[in-house]
Structures are given as structure tokens and as C-alpha cells.
Structure 1
Amino acid sequence: MPSYRDLPSSALIQEASNWRRDFHAHPELGYSEHRTSEKVAQLLESFGLKVTRGIGGTGVVATLQNGVGPSIGLRADMDALPMQENSCAPHASCLPGCMHACGHDGHTSILLATARHLSESNDFNGCVYFIFQPAEETGAGARAMITDGLFERFPMEAIYGLHNWPGLPVDTVGVNHGAMMASQDTFEIHILGSGAHAAMPERGNDPIIVATQLVSALQSIVSRRVSPLNPAVLSVTVIEAGSAYNIIPQIATIKGTVRCLDQDVRNQVQEMITTMVSNLPPAFGAEGTVKYMEGYPVTKNNPTCAERVRGVATELLGDNHVVWNEKASMASEDFAFMLEACPGAYFWLGADGASASKPLHHPSYDFNDDLLPTGVRLFSALLHSHQTNPLLK
């Protein structure tokens, strides 16, 4: 009988690689993962698992119960990105303008292979929920699943998720006891001035001048008003104003994003943006309004669960293959919503093989299938870790 310590069979890994390449060739955007989720559900049913469809839209949850014991959740994301693939791979995207450039095809295949591996071994007591989530890329599919009763319908003491990570070698795990990924908020600022002929600016109030002053002021928030010991990013990414060379416009618009690793800093930055928009434009005789949109929260690990990931990875891969207290990324991840609702941990699985992986969201990115067996072993070992040392006693 196979054990979680064993390498998954080569036949299973080859099958997982085939699934992965099929998903890659047929990408689907958030909340439109109809083909993907149906294939996932059918495979899970073929493994003998109880399957629930339609959680949070196109989400799927499979239940594997074996006796009495702790219950945990393992999560993978399924959606692709709205971008054109630039690849000569035989499994390249068949859909123009859509591709798996973040490895969710691989995450889905790892979790499917884990479900197959555990259903065949049955060497545990308890319950594991395999959670296949829609719409991670900006669609907040994790929140949609939670709103749809994920944790009430499938109660679990902990939940775990992983992400392939270019920059770390294959068979290397990166994890820390706190924030792994930043929060992600956006803002849209409107500066209302007064239009005029460009040759007679004194007859109007140029909102572009005000906007440029405000952009400079916004940059002082991170450089001068937030402690350098508390990482934050404020990026202005859009400035829109005007329609002709000889017209001073009425309105200028500024858009951007804020990323933070601490909720208090996140609140502080939002407050300072709002204050600046209220106070700076009137000094120029203009009016400023801001729409601040909170997005994903900080992806913050439960320290006990993070230590569990560290211990399992060290046991399976060796201490030299674990980067403990790995530096957090200023990118964001909607697994954060699940970690707010349930103890758990999110970790990175190295993607660099003999040559470095393309970056995430690159048009030539392709998931490294060498990660598949390591991901299956880590997920399986986390389940067994909860058998010997439950989180809830």
C-alpha cells in the first residue's frame, strides 16, 4: 500500500502531466472555468470521491473521508489570464488572448494527483477536502466560495495552498510565519478644474497641473510617511486628461494601486491618500475626489500552520531545501480570504529547473512538470501531519 512518504508512481505523475497540458491548452478565465471544473469533477468522481459542484460559481469541492480524525482543506486555483501566449509548446493555448501564465494548470493537476494518491493509499484517519477555486486572478473566487458557505459546509481545522515560484529551485519550499503576499487595493482620483483655451490658461484652472502635484505628493507617503521597516508600494499607473493640443481640460483622472504587508499600514496609507486628495487640490482652486477600492487582504500565515509546512518540507526534502522566513512578495493572492476565515498556510514551491523558469505572467511562461511529485508529497504529508498532531485538541 503506498504511503505519503513514497514518491507518487511514475504512472500517476505522467497522468497528472497529461491533465496539466490539457488544462494549459484549454485555458478559461475566472468564473468561466466550465470545461476545467467539469473535467476536475469527473476525475474526482472517478477516484471514488464525493464531489460538490458550483461552490462560488464554478468552484468544486471533493470530500475524502476515511474513519474518524481531523479535517483539513487543500486548495488549488483553476483560472487563466487574459493574455496572448507566445509559445511553441505543443500544448500551447488554443484560445487567442487567454493563457495559463501563472501555473494554475499545474496547481490543479497537483491537487488532482494528490486526491488520486490519497484515495488509493487510505493510510490516514480523518477527512480531507480538495478545494478547486475559480477566479483567483482579480475575481476574488476565494471570497465567493466562502460567501457560498465553504467553511460551514465543509468544516476544517486548517487549510493549505501552494504556488509555483520562479526564482526558487525545484524541490525547494519557501514559507514564513507571517505575511507571504501583500494586500492589493486600487484607487481612482478625479481632479475637477476649469477648462479654457490653452493660449489663455489664466481663464481656467488646469487640472493637469494639480494632478502632477498630487502624484508627487502621493509618492511621499511611502518614501517619507511610512516606516521603511513596514514595506508598502504605491504606484500611479494611469493619468488621463485632455483631448487636444489647444484645450485645457476640465477633468484629470489618476489611477493606481497600493500594496502592503501589514493591515495597520494598509489603513494608514488609505487614510493619507484620502486626506491628500481632500486638501491639496483646493490649494490650487480645484476639487478632488477619490474612490478607494479595497481588494485582496494580506496573505498572512497562521504561525503554527507555517511551522507545520516547514517541518513537513524538512522531513521530505531536507533542511537545505527549505527557505524559512522567506521574504514576502508585494504581489497579491486571494487565498488571503481563506486564511482570514480559517487557520492555514500558503507556501511557494520552487519552479527553476536546469534553466530558470520564465516569470509568472510572462507570455512564454509554462509550468514545470517536475514540480508535480513534490507538490503531491507535500500536500499528502500535511494531511498526515494533522493525524499525528491535530491543530484542534
Structure 2
Amino acid sequence: MDEITLTRIRALQPELSAIRRDIHAHPEMGMEEVRTSALVAEKLRAWGFDVAEGIGKYGVVASLKGNRPGQRAIGLRCDMDALAIEEATGLPHASTNKGVMHACGHDGHTAMLLGAARHLKEHPDFGGTVHFIFQPAEEGRGGARAMIADGLFDRFPVDAVYGLHNDPKMPFGTFASRPGPAMAAGDRWVVTFRGTGGHGGAAPHLATDVAVLQAQFVLAMQTIVARNIAAVDAAVISVGAIHGGSMASTNVMPSEMVIGGTARSYTEAVRDTMERRMRELATGLAASFGCSAEVTYDRRGTAVVNHAEQTEVALAAAADLAGADKVDGNPPLITGGEDFSLMLQARPGAFMFMGIGAGGATSEGLHTPTYDFNDDAIPNGVGYWVSVVRKELGGLAE
């Protein structure tokens, strides 16, 4: 990327950092982004955009047509929601909303896409249309699905759509993406075992013991990945919660135990196998213990599967910005999930990771109480978006 463009982008950092910290101080959970979406819309209008609000409840879209001939259209998407985590950074811009914080950097994502919108509005040297998509509720509350169901790509047609996420574990200024599966489908499951309960001291032999049953089930689930999934396929099943009985009555055998967790996979075939075997193990073991089982398997999203052509564009855009030596085109698979996967099912596109290093309070990584987005990385994100637009829709010669 030419030095003139980089200088213009870097000049936006103080303003974008202030916006980012304001959003960080006022985090909102998914489908509750009242203030955040209003702030985004306000900034875009102040910079001369026509803005559409309320798409999928709190989604915001602004569009920009370049000053060169061209009919292609692309979407650039960021997420705006926070997480239910109590912040422990002690920073001046720390969360003022108790129990909620921007622990995944969506405040930074929003600021970077706003910066790209502003820069391109002032320098629309491309042919075609860019739709800037600000999505609510990425963190498991269905924001992408809601926007698509509300006609996102009917109202704002695109030939390709791109997403970007920060990674504090990657070195500052680096980028990584890969064609094909890149991130896992994230499912949530809950199994409820029911038995008679009983007196754990006087008459355990007269009870059906759901406590021992759940222990056997948790162990048996480990055989799903080990023995039902091919060794060349990747899958994860983890237990995140076990509830039953009362610490106030530890001599009472509970009549109900509830186990919940997550499952991750990259193909629908593996996903189907995990759900089927989980149900079989739960019902089979329950029957052998004289108990019953109820299984809920919630498919929250699909695997992020990048399209080859758009991944090539994304990697080239990153290389033009950072240099080819800072771009990894074959990073390891990530078992984390992303609902951008649904947008990739609807339209061709690619999802990119950007290293922000361990600046500020980011050293413990995403989804931790001490995370904070590294503001020094904001120009890199803006520059990446501008570079994607140039690769897709043309622009100044590099």
C-alpha cells in the first residue's frame, strides 16, 4: 500500500481510538446494542453516509459507491456485541456496565470498520459499491442469522463478503487465513438424567443413581472422538457444567442430574455422528441404570468455510499492506466458532485474522477479564479493509 494512503489512515487513529474506548466503556450484550448501534449510525451520518438501521434488530449498514465505473459490490462486516464477563483491567476506559465487557475486541472491530468507511468516503477511488455491515450479536445470540433473515443481502446485494477478527496471540501486524474450513461449528448440548433419588447413607441400593450414571456418561463421551470419528477428522466434545443435588444435603442422592457442554466440528458428517452417538450413549446408559435421559443438541452455527477465490483476494490484500512475510496462508484450524459462517453460506467470502500482539492488557487472550484491544492495531485493520476494496474494486496503483 502506498505511503500516502497509510499516512491518511494513521491520521485517523486518535479519533478511532477515542470511539473504540467509548464503546469499550459502554459494552452491550448481543441483541442489546442500543447505544452502540446508535453511535455507529451517528458517526456514519456525520461523515455523509445514508444509513440503514434496525436490520436484524440492531444491525447497521452504510453503502458507498466509488467514483470509477464498476458494477461489483462487496460487503465488509464487523461485530459489535460484548460478553458476560466482569472486567478486571483497571483501565480508565474499563466497562461501566457491571458484568459485561468487550473481552473479544468487537469494540476494536467496530472502530476499524468505521475508520475504513470514513477513509473510503473521503477517497472513493474505486469502481463499484462497498456495503459496511455492522452486525449485532455474534457471541451466540444469532446476529448474522437475524440480519440475513431480515433481508441483508436482498437489500444490499454483494458479490462477496469479508470478515476480520483480531488475535492477541498473533504477532502485531501479521495476518492469517486459509481456504476451506477455518473455524469450527459450535454446538451446545444438554443431557438431563432422571432417576428416583434416595438416601445415600441408609438405602442407596433402593435408588436409581443418576450421579454414577452421569459420571459414566461423561467418560463414555470421550470415546466418540476417539473411536467414532476418523483420526484424520478434527472434533471436540467438552463438558462445561454439571448440576445436581445440594451441598446442604449431601447425604441425599439426587433424582436429577444435568450435564451441559459444547461440541466442535468442521463437517456436517462429523457433526451428525457426534449428535447421534451422544444420544445413543445417553439413552443406552440411562436404560442400563434404570433411569431416563433427555438430550438437547443445539446447532448454533456452522463451520467457517472460506471460499478459495475470496481467500486469495484477502491474502493478497493483507500482503500488500503488511508484506508477504507477515501473511500466513495456511494457519492451523481453529476450534473457536464464528457466526460469520452463515454469511459465507449465503455469499462467497473469506474471514481473516489479524495479529494485534500483547499490547496493553491483551496478554491473556480473548474472552478473559484482562483483555483489551490494542489501539495501535487500528490502522492495520483500516488498512486491510481499504486494501480489500482495492483488490476487489480497483483503486490507486500500488
Q: TM-score range by the shorter chain?
A: over 0.9
In the TM superposition, what is the alpha-carbon distance from 1:238 to its structure 2 partner? 1.6
**Residues 195 and 204 of structure 1 are in contact (CA less than 8 Å); yes or no, is this contact kept in structure 2?**
yes
1:319-334 paired onto structure 2 within 5 Å:
319-334=324-339
Q: Quote the Cα distance in structure 1 between the aligned partners of 2:391 and 2:236.
A: 37
Task: Tell me if 1:241 matches 2:244.
Answer: yes
TM-score, scaled relative to structure 1: 0.94
Q: Quote the Cα distance in structure 2 between the aligned partners of 1:179 and 1:233.
A: 15
Specify every segment of 5 or more residues in structure 2 that has no aligned partner in the other structure, as ranges: none
Aligned partner (choices 203, 222, 227) of residue 225 of structure 2: 222
**Residues 4 and 381 of structure 1 are in contact (CA less than 8 Å); yes or no, is this contact kept in structure 2?**
no
Task: Tell me if 1:159 matches 2:165.
Answer: no
Task: Tell me if 1:360 matches 2:366.
Answer: yes
Specify every segment of 5 or more residues in structure 1 that has no aligned partner in the other structure, as ranges: none
In the TM superposition, what is the alpha-carbon distance from 1:291 to its structure 2 partner? 1.1
Q: Secondary structure at the match of 2:30?
A: coil
Deviation per residue, 1:196-250 (Å, 9 max, x gap): 2222122121111211111111111112221232111101122222232222222
AA aligned opposite 1:269: M
Partner of 1:33: 33
Task: Tell me if 1:211 matches 2:211.
Answer: no
Partner of 1:78: 80
**Residues 228 and 273 of structure 2 are in contact (CA less than 8 Å); yes or no, is this contact kept in structure 1?**
no
Q: Secondary structure at the match of 1:168?
A: coil
**Residues 193 and 205 of structure 1 are in contact (CA less than 8 Å); yes or no, is this contact kept in structure 2?**
yes
Partner of 1:102: 104
AA aligned opposite 1:150: L
AA aligned opposite 2:128: G
1:41-120 paired onto structure 2 within 5 Å:
41-66=41-66, 67-120=69-122
Q: Quote the Cα distance in structure 1 between the aligned partners of 2:95 and 2:25.
A: 4
Q: Secondary structure at the match of 1:54?
A: strand
Task: Tell me if 1:268 matches 2:270.
Answer: no
Q: Secondary structure at the match of 1:69?
A: strand
AA aligned opposite 1:377: G
Deviation per residue, 1:4-50 (Å, 9 max, x gap): 95443433121111111111111111111111111110111122111
Aligned partner (choices 279, 283, 292) of residue 288 of structure 2: 283
Question: Taking structure 1 as reference, are residues 254 and 341 closer, same or farther at Cα in structure 2, changes over 3 Å only?
Answer: same
In the TM superposition, what is the alpha-carbon distance from 1:152 to its structure 2 partner? 0.6
In the TM superposition, what is the alpha-carbon distance from 1:138 to its structure 2 partner? 1.3
Task: Tell me if 1:383 matches 2:385.
Answer: no
**Residues 77 and 163 of structure 2 are in contact (CA less than 8 Å); yes or no, is this contact kept in structure 1?**
yes
AA aligned opposite 1:200: A
In the TM superposition, what is the alpha-carbon distance from 1:79 to its structure 2 partner? 0.9
**Residues 65 and 124 of structure 2 are in contact (CA less than 8 Å); yes or no, is this contact kept in structure 1?**
no
In the TM superposition, what is the alpha-carbon distance from 1:263 to its structure 2 partner? 2.1
Percent identity, aligned pairs only? 42
Number of residue pairs the alignment of both structures matches: 388
Q: Quote the Cα distance in structure 1 between the aligned partners of 2:367 and 2:101.
A: 9
Partner of 1:202: 205
Q: Quote the Cα distance in structure 2 between the aligned partners of 1:195 and 1:79.
A: 42
AA aligned opposite 2:336: A
Q: Quote the Cα distance in structure 2 between the aligned partners of 1:35 and 1:368.
A: 22
CA RMSD of aligned residues (A): 1.8
Aligned partner (choices 352, 369, 372) of residue 347 of structure 1: 352
Q: Secondary structure at the match of 1:70?
A: strand
Task: Tell me if 1:316 matches 2:321.
Answer: yes
TM-score, scaled relative to structure 2: 0.93
Deviation per residue, 1:263-305 (Å, 9 max, x gap): 2211111111111122222122222221111112111111111
Deviation per residue, 1:84-141 (Å, 9 max, x gap): 1112322111222111111111000000000000010110111000000111111111
Deviation per residue, 1:330-364 (Å, 9 max, x gap): 11111111111111111100011568733001111
Deviating above 6 A after TM superposition, structure 1's stretches of 4 or more consecutive aligned residues are none
Q: Secondary structure at the match of 2:190?
A: strand
AA aligned opposite 1:290: V
**Residues 3 and 123 of structure 1 are in contact (CA less than 8 Å); yes or no, is this contact kept in structure 2?**
no
Question: Taking structure 1 as reference, are residues 335 and 9 closer, same or farther at Cα in structure 2, changes over 3 Å only?
Answer: closer
Deviation per residue, 1:176-196 (Å, 9 max, x gap): 112222111111112122222
Q: Quote the Cα distance in structure 2 between the aligned partners of 1:225 and 1:257.
A: 17
Question: Taking structure 1 as reference, are residues 240 and 354 closer, same or farther at Cα in structure 2, changes over 3 Å only?
Answer: closer
Q: Secondary structure at the match of 2:215?
A: helix
